[in-house]
Amino acid sequence: MDKRFLLVFSLFCCIEAVTLLKCITCHLRMKSDRCRRGYGVCLAQRDESCMLLRIYKDYALQLSYMVCQRFCRNLTFTFSNRTYIHHCCEADYCNKR
């Protein structure tokens, strides 16, 4: 492989490593229970931020979902009597519930 390419690549890798935002991941969390599936940490890539999605039914929290989300937007909408609240944030581990 080209040495110049390797140099650029390794610089890129290490700059990224120190600046990447860390977010909590959880693909399924019921009510006040702990995370049941997909618990961990993701590194937000370009255009990603941390997202927490909460789904309420009849004003009670039913489940929540946490990921690194591309083009994340704060958004709330109601569909079939369920309310979906997307919350985006840009600080390490800020998408904890």
Ligand X SMILES: *[C@@H]1O[C@H](CO)[C@@H](O)[C@H](O)[C@H]1NC(C)=O
Q: Is 50 one of the binding residues for ligand X (CB under 6 A)? A: no
Beta strands in 31-72 (DSSP E): 35-37, 40-43, 48-57, 60-70
Pairing of strands 75-79, 35-37: unpaired
Which residue number, 36 or 57, has a Cβ lying nearer to ligand X?
57
Q: Is 68 one of the binding residues for ligand X (CB under 6 A)? A: no
Which residue number, 10 or 78, has a Cβ lying nearer to ligand X?
78
Q: Is 89 one of the binding residues for ligand X (CB under 6 A)? A: yes
Among 74, 75, 76, 96, binds ligand X (CB under 6 A): 74
Closest approach, Cβ 2 to ligand X, in A, equals: 39
**What are φ and ψ of residue 85, in 5° steps?**
-115, 115
For 84, counting Cβ atoms within 10 Å of its Cβ (0-12 exposed, 13-18 middle, 19+ buried), the class is middle
Question: Where does this chain bind ligand X (CB under 6 A)?
Answer: 72-74, 80-81, 88-89
